[in-house]
Amino acid sequence: MTHSASISPHTPVLINEVIDFLAPRPAGIYCDATVGFGGHARAILEASAPDGRVIGIDRDPDALAATREALRDYGDRVTLVHAPFSRIGAVLAESVGPVDGCLVDLGVSSAQLDRPDRGFSFSHSGPLDMRMDQTQGETAAEFIARVDEDELGAVLRDFGEERFAGRIARTIVEARQHEDLSSTGALAALVARAVPRREPHKNPATRTFQALRIAVNGELAELEHFLTDAPGCLRPGGRMVVIAFHSLEDRMVKHRLRALAAGGLSSGAAAIRVLTKRVVIATDEERAANPRSRSAKLRAAERLAS
């Protein structure tokens, strides 16, 4: 069976592959830990009809409000929770207990990227915010106004894999004394000035924006917590699926799943087996239809009985 997304501000990636790995069934309980605009959640609800349930987590209240409306027809089969997915253990313990499957589809949605007021994109000028949860935490503008040059350089290098990290950090720290860097446009223009050589077909600010987003949202720490706690949230035979969009995240997923499967993390960790011998990527057809899918990398694992 193939699944198509309904009209939505975000097209879910690898949707057939997600459903194949999760294999939702009636009466099953599934956690979509990045429910976003509900595209994957809807497919899970359809595949687990008539009474499968989805606990949807997202740290973005705007996404949850839109999804509450979009999934209204599924009634009490859907529970939405405003939380970071690092809290998956507590969220599930307080609601449904162990689940039959769990999905995390990392990063930001097209809807978040496309809204200038969210400040994620150098393509739209807006406030340099970048928080997935705008109810708390430091904005990207506040972050670059406060960090010292070394810390900023390390963030750009480690999270953006930016070869001109030191040069960009120095330029930002010098410019912030006399220039207003509180908009996406101002930062993108400054980075373009700082970078001596451009990568073809890539905005010179791409890596800087990725790095700042990861830093502002604590994305790697979030993923680390999730990968530690999610296996223990599954019932025996329950499956987890992780979709990553850049190599830093995918490397972390690959190594963490391998270590868990080898029993090498801690004696108390839930035992799993990795289901994806090789990383799963989008088909040519999907890549052509949805450019976002081109960088998607899926890995899956199953909790063992003991």
Ligand X SMILES: C[S@@+](CC[C@H](N)C(=O)[O-])C[C@H]1O[C@@H](n2cnc3c(N)ncnc32)[C@H](O)[C@@H]1O
According to CB under 6 A, which one of 24, 52, 56, 84 is a site residue for ligand X? 84
290 binds ligand X (CB under 6 A): no
Residue where the block lists tokens 């011998």:
277
Pairing state between β 53-58 and 78-82:
parallel
Which of the ranges 100-108, 119-127, 207-215, 297-305 carries the binding residues for ligand X, by CB under 6 A?
A: 100-108
Query: Smaller CB distance to ligand X: residue 45 or 205?
Result: 45
SS3 27: coil
298 binds ligand X (CB under 6 A): no
Count of C-beta atoms within a 10 Å radius of residue 179: 13
248 binds ligand X (CB under 6 A): no
Which of the ranges 104-112, 134-142, 180-188, 272-280 carries the binding residues for ligand X, by CB under 6 A?
A: 104-112
Instruction: Give me 17's structure tokens.
Output: 């592959």
222 binds ligand X (CB under 6 A): yes
Sheet holding 272-274, edge to edge: 78-82, 53-58, 29-32, 99-105, 234-244, 297-303, 272-274
Measured from the CB of residue 106, what is the shortest distance to ligand X in angstroms?
A: 6
Mark 19-58 with x for binding to ligand X (rule: CB under 6 A) and - for no binding. Answer: ---------------x-xxxxx----------------xx
φ, ψ for residue 100, nearest 5 deg: -85, -15
Q: Cα separation of 120 and 184, whole Å?
A: 8
Give contact residues for ligand X (rule: CB under 6 A). 10, 12, 34, 36-40, 57-60, 63, 84-85, 105, 107-109, 132, 222
